[in-house]
Chains A and B, each alone.
Chain A
């Protein structure tokens, strides 16, 4: 099978008619489509999915009409989305057309677009005209059944599922693998026979008549209760597993942010430590300033008094002024004379006359009113206070303290500059420390859920054992009733069939896993230059181990690029196995094309080269979506010569992309 061309009209950002002709030449079976991020590579892949299966794995999958056209749609107007694909299958040319009409109805609010009629058409070429080929779904099933599509229309998302070790991812992969490789029928049969309350065995057991025997009746009741418990536990397990998936996703997103901001984090840490230093310096600065002030307030007089030094002579002269009090006379003597009313010379006087006043003046010069002591004390004090030494000490101390402060301020400014510098270089406000803490919290939650799941599973195992015991008891106790004997026979029969199916399934499953593992590693060895072996575990986890240590419990270190390589190897291996086991049933010698939207930019050029050389051999035709031309710099001329056609997605606007044959600079 080969794709000849696809015509895309108004499908999402592909406004108007866009036609891509694929290279069908056997020697040049590669077509390359270049497109940057958001240009529309993924949308292009989804156009294939839509025309084939009416599936669109994009956000808002019902809004297929180009946004620019939708925005300009007037009342009563309609527009069509159409994808038409031409292909060659089993020697015949087919074309598949899917159309969807979008309308704004007259009675609707402006801007409300309704989905109108849709139609599909499958046609076959006969004598240069197109004739109906039959029922669309039948044709699709013949050409390429939907369960295969995800492996032939291969998107980057899928790679993440394979390269991730998340439960959801591995479960999905496990199911698709089993489905594709035909194990599904066995598992469906086993389930139908034995699993759950609607299974054949459950139905048969419920038919056993227990009413005649109260012991039997009790056992039946217990059995039913255990069944309900197990179902409840399984519900819980499913819920917890979903929780874990959500937490894992959250954790992964946070870890990515942490990784992206690692450098910022280190800067933040440095800034924090500088800030702590700055804080302590600022405290020191404040303390020193307070210390300066406190010293000043305690000793300022010591210093400033010395400014009076030049006036000391003048002061001494004033203080030397002699008071001429009568020697050895006391103020009381004068008081006595004043009281008796006449002087020692005998002259009488009256209060307030000149004689009286003269005596009062004389009294002031005598003790205790004499100021001699005060003066001499003052003099002494003065000489203590006006001291060059004290003044100089104060000055030296103040200048020292000041210089000390200047030095601290200098240190502070240098630190502040450093911090500012770091701040300018920190691009985001993402708090990595906090995120790491959140990741730890998530890990704790995941661990808790995992433990809960473990204990629930343990409970279920015990309950299943008890159920088994009860089954035997019921069968033993019910042997006395003819009808029950009949039913027990049927049960035994169903159990036996289940057992046989299970053992076939197990055998096939192991075989399949081994075959798949071999096929995948064949490709891995071709694509990957390092020493890695891909191991598929019992629960369909894909682990990369060192080639020389395949039994290792631990994964060998893997880069993001290696994850992609692993996914591509897986895909090639799966195609190989599928071809040999399953595709032969559909059409003899059919080879399938591969439409491949892989994040090749995640892997290095050597591996891109290997992938590019390996893929064309696995498929009849390869259509590659690649981000940039330089992604293919490393491929050999031989591979280059296999490229038959090249296209470029040109992004005209956010809502408008076009497919062109010539590269045009943006």
Chain B
């Protein structure tokens, strides 16, 4: 099963995750938990970056420990994925989330879709929490100035979050109404 195996961020996403963990998150797995939620909300997906060898891992042990949260978010992604009818969404969310579901291809597709939300979410987190601080990249994470800039960004992100989401949804609605 995907949810109890080692997970690897690759390429630029690995770099983003590493920086996010340096800046604010406790563990890589925290990024993995939060990212798909934001990917969903901002409707942002992405594909694995294979342009470099950089990677950062989450060990199976941690995946197992956080398994409930991760599966919950997987289900959210499946249920809100726009490219399917309701029955398919339900099946993907609650049946085809394991290799043992009898349809391995379908499962792999679902995971790929879910992963695209994770990667999209990582990008969003990086853009909103870190991007202003590019100059600090690789700097001593104990540097108080760096820490202050980060919590500045995080607080700003949090303060504006609800408004951002509303604005985003409204634009989405407007775009929809244009169809």
Give the B-binding residues of A (Cβ under 8 A): 282, 285-286, 289, 292-294, 296-297, 300-301, 303-308, 310-311, 314-315, 317-319, 321, 323, 364, 371, 374-375, 378, 381-382, 385, 391, 394-395, 398-399, 402, 405, 409
Contacts and interface: CB of A to CB of B under 8 A. Distances in A.
- B-side interface size class: 35 or more
A297 B162 contact: no
Contacts of B25: 297
Contacts of A364: 95
Contacts of B93: 378
A399 B155 contact: yes
B154 interface: yes
A371 B95 CA distance: 7
Interface string B145-179: 00110011011001101100110010000000000
Contact of A297 (B26, B76, B86, B148): B26
A289 B26 CA distance: 13
Given A303-B158, A304-B34, A285 B80 contact: no
A165 to B, nearest CB: 56
Where chain A touches its partner, the secondary structure class is helix
Nearest to B69: A301
B90 A319 contact: yes
Contacts of A385: 72
B30 A304 contact: no
Nearest to A375: B94
23 contacts: A286-B144, A289-B144, A292-B151, A296-B154, A301-B34, A301-B37, A303-B161, A307-B161, A308-B37, A308-B40, A311-B40, A315-B79, A315-B80, A317-B86, A318-B80, A323-B90, A374-B94, A385-B72, A395-B159, A399-B155, A399-B158, A405-B151, A409-B148
B33 A285 contact: no
Nearest to A305: B37
Contacts of B161: 303-304, 307, 395
A318 B89 contact: yes
Nearest to B147: A289
A371 B91 CA distance: 9
A595 B110 CA distance: 110
A319 B79 contact: yes
A293 B155 contact: no
B24 interface: yes
Interface of B: 24-26, 30, 33-34, 37-38, 40-41, 69, 72, 75-76, 79-80, 86-87, 89-90, 93-95, 144, 147-148, 151-152, 154-155, 158-159, 161-162, 165-166, 169
Contacts of B165: 307, 310
A293 to B, nearest CB: 6
B144 A285 contact: yes
A306 B164 CA distance: 12
B13 to A, nearest CB: 19
A323 B93 CA distance: 14
Contact of B37 (A307, A314, A315, A395): A307
A296 B37 CA distance: 16
Contacts of A315: 76, 79-80
Nearest to B27: A297
A399 B159 contact: yes
A371 B155 contact: no
Given A307-B165, A402-B155, 18 more contacts: A289-B144, A289-B148, A297-B24, A301-B69, A303-B161, A308-B40, A308-B76, A311-B40, A311-B41, A311-B80, A318-B86, A318-B89, A371-B90, A371-B94, A381-B72, A385-B72, A391-B162, A402-B151
A374 B158 CA distance: 32
Given A301-B33, A307-B165, A321 B158 contact: no
B34 A378 contact: no
Contacts of B72: 378, 381, 385
A306 B163 CA distance: 12
B157 to A, nearest CB: 10
Contacts of B148: 289, 405, 409
A297 B89 contact: no
Contacts of A378: 72, 75, 93-94
Contacts of A395: 158-159, 161
Nearest to A412: B144
A319 B93 CA distance: 10
Contacts of B41: 304, 307-308, 311
The 8 A-B pairs at the shortest CB distance, nearest first, are namely: A371-B94, A402-B155, A307-B41, A297-B26, A321-B86, A307-B165, A374-B94, A318-B86
B159 A296 contact: no
Nearest to B35: A304
A423 to B, nearest CB: 20
A385 B72 CA distance: 11
A391 B26 CA distance: 20
Contacts of B166: 310
A212 B90 CA distance: 136
Given A293-B26, A305-B37, A321 B80 contact: no
A211 B54 CA distance: 107
A95 to B, nearest CB: 81
A292 B161 CA distance: 18
A250 B101 CA distance: 92
A282 B161 CA distance: 30
Given A315-B79, A315-B80, A371-B90, A304 B37 contact: yes
Scoring A292, A293, A296, A307 by chain B CB atoms within 10 A of each residue's CB, the highest score goes to A307
